[in-house]
Structure 1
């Protein structure tokens, strides 16, 4: 049997801690700014849907990266197809990509969407003092949960059936980002060391 050694290190754990903190601050500032500066409940709800969508898209990427096959990307990379090398990079770091997308972004989005939902409920109750606060909170919580769960369920189906296409699309986005900014967000891929394990 092959021993699959995880690429997760203490340095990576520290990176995840700091990155999660900064992302949580950024998302929280975004949601707070949205609820405080925008008086329209409809616009606030649109912002909430956008945040939930980010979580669903991240979940799709995190699922697809664990299901995609690396071989087709090597074939495309040999033909110098844009995004293929980036796809290989993502697949060779599948554990980290899945962790960031499914756990880091997913958990942060879940927390922030809940907080934003409460803020929207408060805004609705301020505009409609006669409405029951208990039921308003229950309905908002149920709405956020149902949208998130059903969206991720649909997204997982797409991620598992079109895994290569999803990762190739993400790879193309990374490639264009690198072209526009001039900053590499991927490292040069090293060849995989394939060793045969002799049967005893």
Structure 2
């Protein structure tokens, strides 16, 4: 329940930021620049979708061997795999879906720019360009995610390790712990039980 509320708030904030930034970038630009902005937004969605799939399909064991050898980012990678449900939820459902929605809105703005450049008397050409552009964006989104998922499944270990190294840099340079691992409570519970038994005795 708490995670659902938290992720809803994060989604609202990120969606607002993405929407404001993309709209601001498309104000007063030619339609060619607008097309580039839309493709960048779609690419971001594909990239995060790939990271989410990799975290969900990665095996934890190889990272334990890397952590034993003091490989930077290995411990962070273990935390990512152990929290794959939340990490993939953020990457796929939050960032991925936001990029899909924002790219649709940005595409509509680009179409408006195209219509403005076409001028009056070019109704048929405007309709053709609009349909073709929408089809290209959809194909790029679906095809890119399909390729990204296949790549992520077959290369989950190096992808997750790369993400872990990025988290490692953030943690050690800025002191920000991006994702914490699950804490083991067996020892604490055992000590508490021992204390209770001693006090009862």
- Secondary structure at the counterpart of residue 120 of structure 1: helix
- Aligned pairs for 1:111-130 (under 5 A) are 111-129=101-119, 130=122
Following the alignment from structure 1 to structure 2, what is the Cα–Cα distance between the partners of residues 121 and 79? 54
The equivalent of 1:20 in structure 2 is: 11
* Two-structure CA RMSD over aligned residues (Å): 1.6
Q: Which has the larger radius of gyration?
A: 2
Do 2:74 and 2:164's aligned partners in 1 also have CA atoms closer than 8 Å?
yes
Structure 2: gaps (5+ residues)? 187-201
Q: Alpha-carbon deviation of 1:159?
A: 0.4
The equivalent of 1:7 in structure 2 is: none
- Secondary structure at the counterpart of residue 176 of structure 2: coil
Q: TM-score, normalised by structure 2?
A: 0.86
Following the alignment from structure 1 to structure 2, what is the Cα–Cα distance between the partners of residues 100 and 15? 11
Do 2:53 and 2:152's aligned partners in 1 also have CA atoms closer than 8 Å?
yes
The equivalent of 2:192 in structure 1 is: none
The equivalent of 1:68 in structure 2 is: 58
Do 1:73 and 1:84's aligned partners in 2 also have CA atoms closer than 8 Å?
yes
- Aligned pairs for 1:1-200 (under 5 A) are 10-37=1-28, 39-129=29-119, 130-132=122-124, 133-191=126-184
Do 2:45 and 2:95's aligned partners in 1 also have CA atoms closer than 8 Å?
yes
- Secondary structure at the counterpart of residue 19 of structure 1: helix
Following the alignment from structure 2 to structure 1, what is the Cα–Cα distance between the partners of residues 143 and 70? 38
- Secondary structure at the counterpart of residue 141 of structure 1: helix
- Secondary structure at the counterpart of residue 173 of structure 2: helix
> Per the alignment, do residues 75 and 42 of structure 1 end up closer, same or farther by CA in structure 2, a change over 3 Å counting?
same
Q: Alpha-carbon deviation of 1:121?
A: 0.7
Q: Alpha-carbon deviation of 1:89?
A: 0.5
The equivalent of 1:197 in structure 2 is: none
Following the alignment from structure 1 to structure 2, what is the Cα–Cα distance between the partners of residues 68 and 190? 20
Q: TM-score, normalised by structure 1?
A: 0.86
Do 1:27 and 1:112's aligned partners in 2 also have CA atoms closer than 8 Å?
yes
Structure 1 residue runs of 4+, over 6 Å off? none
